[in-house]
Amino acid sequence: MVGLSVAVVGVGPRGLSVVERLAIRARTPVTVWAIDSVEHGSGRVWRTDQPEWFTMNATAGEVTVASPGSHLDGFVEWSGTFAPTDYPPRRTYGAYLHAMFRRLCEQAPPNVTIRPVRGEVTRLSPSNGRYVLILSDGRTLEADKVVLATGHGPSNPQPLVDGHVAADIAPDMPLDDIPAEATVAVRGLGLSFYDVTRALTIGRGGRFRRTARHLRYLPSGDEPRILAGSRGGLPFLARTRFDQAPEAAPRPTVFTPARLDELREQALRVRGSTKLDFAREVEPLILAEARAAYGSDLRPDDVARPFTGRVFATPQQFRARLMATLGNDVDEARKAGPLKAALETLRATRPLLPSVVDFGGLLPASHEDFLTRFAPWSFILSAGPPDSHVEQLVALIEAGVVDVVGPAARFGDGPITVESPQVAGSFRTADVFVDARVPVTAVRHGRTALLRGLVADGLVREFVNTDPATGESFATGGMAVTPAPSRVVDRHGTPNPDIYAIGVATEHTRWFTQVGTGRPGQDSPFCREADAIAIDILRRP
């Protein structure tokens, strides 16, 4: 079929959404090369061969890849098994995504041909007005338009080298190579920490048993000893337990687009730029929304950073404080009281945050502060696992399998050590170090051959947030793209009309691009961004 040729590089949820919108929008012949190195639809994060103990941190009723008006199923309807309030295994959501990709291929309109390609694109070069894509096995493809939806990159698991496990998604870490008798130092207490912990306990044959009083962990004997720590010393807190499908939060009354417009007008008058100071001008509005949901005075810092400035005389004293904090968090999540309602409000403010942060909406120093302070803080409070996982962590600490060393954790190398300066006597040595932090987006230091080549050839560049009034700048690490339809920007600052980027590669230019779902029945940014790309591709010769 002669017509427009489009290559979508990376067909996880975001690439899949672009393919869907192309199939819906196209009125003339279009061939879509759907290229993924792991699995079409599910991609790397949601691939179907990962163990079942890696679960979602969103409920089944909150996620879908189907855009409004699509003929694709929502996840709950497709599964026929999970209630809207369940937290399914990631591989099950991956199976849904793969099934939806197959349906798109089978039910595409006559003018649209979707051609799946399994492989890794290692090079992209202009050629006579088109683009040549070279795959790692030597195959080549040509396309008129290219969409980069590469996510976290192709699956390229690194081995256990000198007792070190590099930052990656947990299913691709060489955790099975860690000996049972080893002591493992884990940096980070976020969602990856929970994944690593589950892989080294449940994944090693351990079981949980509920007694009349509490949950107990029954070791298999194959578990290593886990020593964990982070800056704050507090693992991600549990999401509230839902009795019915979670709905969108009430419309904010303080943190609103109109108020943001006023702030930008004021900033222009006072500072000569519309860029905002997040901590001084925006954050108070978000906290006001949370306090309104709580019903009285709320200090989120007391919840997210309860150990700030505190010194503990012994590891046992810190452990007792941590266990009380986590136990109380599980109770709060299960009663779905005002505190968790306030924290869910923080989660509900996310859709408006891109309009604040994206494309240099903040002052450069404030942009860095947002990424390094506010974003991690908000994730601790509102992006955590289900309450059952936090309760299991408590049981693992009680069983002596896991120990959190304390806040401001410091990790040493050669030998591997970990300690908290706020907990006397916390210094420990370990055999293995696991970096359980999410890899930072850094275009200049591309993790893939494709990205390194794009930078070297000048087809893409890093987004640097510069204040025109002062000249101050902040190199974000994210790929520079235009606002919708997300065309990439080359080394000269010129948008490319034929290459688009969406998702993780643009993180820090955009914010929170890791989300791989839309909300059922809602015209979410997830769908709108893919639709804008599809419209632009199809309108341009």
Nearest Cα to Cα of residue 501 among 530, 540, 464: 530
How far apart CA 178 and CA 184 sit, in angstroms, is 8
Phi, psi of 317 (to 5 degrees): -65, -45
Nearest Cα to Cα of residue 319 among 392, 377, 238, 400: 400
Torsion-angle region of 259 (φ positive above 0: left; ψ -120 to 50: alpha; else: beta): alpha
pLDDT of residue 248 exceeding 90, the answer is no
User: Which one-letter amino acid corresponds to residue 274?
Assistant: T
pLDDT digits (tens, 9 = 90+) for 163-189: 999 999 999 999 999 999 999 999 999
Q: Which domains does the chain have, with CATH numbers?
A: 4-152+481-539 (3.50.50.60), 164-236+386-435 (3.50.50), 257-382 (no CATH)
Over range 14-38, report the average pLDDT: 96
How many Cβ atoms are within 10 Å of 272's Cβ, its own excluded? Answer: 12
How far apart CA 219 and CA 216 sit, in angstroms, is 10
User: Which one-letter amino acid corresponds to residue 414?
Assistant: G
Lowest mean pLDDT among 106-115, 339-348, 409-418: 339-348
pLDDT digits (tens, 9 = 90+) for 73-87: 999 999 999 999 999
Kindly give, in sequence order, each residue whose CB lies less than 8 Å from that of residue 450, ignoring residues fewer than 6 positions away. 9, 120, 121, 122, 123, 124, 150
Over range 54-83, report the average pLDDT: 92
Nearest Cα to Cα of residue 337 among 382, 294, 300, 378: 294
How far apart CA 419 and CA 429 sit, in angstroms, is 9
**DSSP line for 56-75:** -SS-GGG-B-PPTT-SSPPH
Q: Is 309 helix (H, G, I), strand (E, B) or coil?
A: coil
Note whether 20 and 73 are within 8 A (CB). no
State the Rg of the chain over Cα: 24
pLDDT digits (tens, 9 = 90+) for 210-236: 998 899 999 999 999 999 999 999 999
Residue that the structure tokens 């886990």 belong to: 226
The residue ranking higher by pLDDT, 455 or 526, is 455
- Per-residue confidence (pLDDT) for residue 80, from 0 to 100: 95
pLDDT of residue 524 exceeding 90, the answer is no
501, containing H or E segment: strand 495-501
- Per-residue confidence (pLDDT) for residue 155, from 0 to 100: 64
Beta strands in 91-129 (DSSP E): 112-118, 121-127
Q: Is 28 helix (H, G, I), strand (E, B) or coil?
A: coil
Residue that the structure tokens 């993180």 belong to: 507
Nearest Cα to Cα of residue 25 among 1, 2, 6: 6
pLDDT of residue 367 exceeding 60, the answer is yes
Note whether 85 and 60 are within 8 A (CB). yes
User: Which one-letter amino acid corresponds to residue 373?
Assistant: R
Enter the DSSP assignment of 158.
P
